[in-house]
């Protein structure tokens, strides 16, 4: 099992936003939850679901978007995008791995990268147009100081990808904040 501790890069979403400086309330979380179900909902529909006025809902959505905490975009099916080889890579390392993260982040093949807890220290998804490019990148990863293990696998077919984030940590934060005010 692998638990994503921090999303470092994503082809579709970019780096995970830092929510520590953002002041959430239960309405923000409700708005995010409804938008995760269907990001095409109108402000009026969204307002009805969360119990706000249309203008109040629009203001909150715009604030969430401006902060970078949410993105509302169409996501194409991967099968429509590429004929490249898609590999998963699990990496174990010792010490600070800024060099590895920088290597992967600078590689045009990077689609996804996360710091993890479990079987690997980092996990990434990389896209290659040839096996030669794949082998070259794997050699560079293995040569990175501190890398002790590198395992890779081919994604033969991706059936479903999910891009929404779990809201449980945010709900917990809001609940703790409400309890501290009481």
Q: pTM for the full model?
A: 0.57
Among 31-40, 107-116, 172-181, the minimum mean pLDDT is found in 172-181
User: What distance in Å separates the CA atoms of residue 85 and residue 112, rounded to the nearest whole number?
Assistant: 14
pLDDT at 9: 57
Asked whether the predicted pLDDT for residue 181 surpasses 70, the reply is no
User: What distance in Å separates the CA atoms of residue 43 and residue 5, rounded to the nearest whole number?
Assistant: 33
Query: Which residue(s) pair with 86 in the sheet?
Result: 127
Quick one: average pLDDT of 98-120?
A: 81
Q: Can you tell me whether residue 20 is helix, strand or coil?
A: coil
């Amino acid at each position: 099992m692998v638990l994503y501790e921090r999303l470092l890069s994503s082809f579709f979403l970019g780096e995970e936003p830092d929510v520590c400086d953002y002041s959430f309330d239960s309405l923000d979380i409700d708005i995010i939850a409804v938008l995760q179900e269907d990001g095409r909902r109108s402000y009026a529909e969204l307002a009805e679901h969360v119990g706000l006025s249309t203008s109040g809902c629009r203001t909150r959505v715009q604030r969430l978007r401006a902060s970078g905490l949410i993105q509302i975009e169409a996501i194409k099916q991967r099968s429509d995008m590429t004929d490249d080889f898609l590999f998963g890579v699990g990496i174990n390392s010792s010490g600070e791995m800024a060099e590895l993260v920088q290597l992967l982040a600078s590689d045009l093949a990077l689609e996804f990268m996360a710091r993890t807890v479990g079987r690997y220290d980092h996990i990434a998804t990389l896209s290659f147009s040839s096996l030669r490019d794949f082998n070259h990148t794997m050699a560079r990863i293995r040569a990175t100081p501190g890398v002790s293990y590198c395992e890779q696998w081919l994604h033969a077919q991706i059936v479903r990808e999910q891009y929404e984030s779990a809201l449980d940590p945010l709900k917990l934060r809001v609940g703790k904040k409400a309890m501290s005010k009481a």
